[in-house]
Amino acid sequence: MSSMWGKNIKLSIFGESHGKAIGVVIDGLPPGIELDIEYINKEMNRRAPGKNKISTSRKEGDKYEILSGYFNGKTTGTPLASVIYNTNQRSRDYEAVKSIMRPGHADYTGHIRYSGFNDYRGGGHFSGRLTAPLVFAGAIAKQILLNKNILIGSHIKSIGNIEDNSFNSINIDASLLRNLSRKEFSVIDDEKGREMKEYILKIKEEKDSVGGIIEAAIINLPLGLGSPFFDSVESKLSHIIFSIPAVKGVEFGEGFNITKMKGSQANDELYIKEGKVTAYSNNNGGILGGITNGMPIILKVAIKPTPSIGKLQRTVDIEKGIETEFEIKGRHDPCIVPRAVPVIEAAIAMALVDLIMEKGELI
Q: Give pLDDT, residue 158.
A: 98
125 is in an annotated binding site: yes
304 is in an annotated binding site: yes
Per-chain mean pLDDT for the chain? 92
At 121 the three-state DSSP class reads: helix
75 is in an annotated binding site: no
Q: Give pLDDT, residue 90.
A: 60
307 is in an annotated binding site: yes
331 is in an annotated binding site: yes
- Write down the pTM of the prediction: 0.94
248 is in an annotated binding site: no
Q: What is the pLDDT of residues 49-103, one digit of tens each?
A: 766 677 665 566 689 999 999 999 999 999 999 999 988 666 556 666 789 999 9
Q: What is the rounded distance in angstroms from the CA atom of residue 200 to the CA atom of residue 188?
A: 18
**Pairing of the two strands 4-5 and 64-68:** unpaired
Q: Give pLDDT, residue 97.
A: 76
Q: Quick one: 4-358 is in which CATH superfamily? A: Chorismate synthase AroC (3.60.150.10)
Q: In this structure, are residues 102 and 121 in contact, taking their beta carbons and an 8 Å threshold?
A: no
Q: Give pLDDT, residue 253.
A: 98
131 is in an annotated binding site: no
Domain boundaries, the chain: 4-358
305 is in an annotated binding site: yes
342 is in an annotated binding site: no
Torsion sign over Cα 13, 43, 17, 344: negative
Q: Give pLDDT, residue 121.
A: 81
Q: What is the rounded distance in angstroms from the CA atom of residue 334 to the CA atom of residue 56?
A: 8
Say how far residue 24 (Cα) sits from the centre of its chain.
Answer: 15
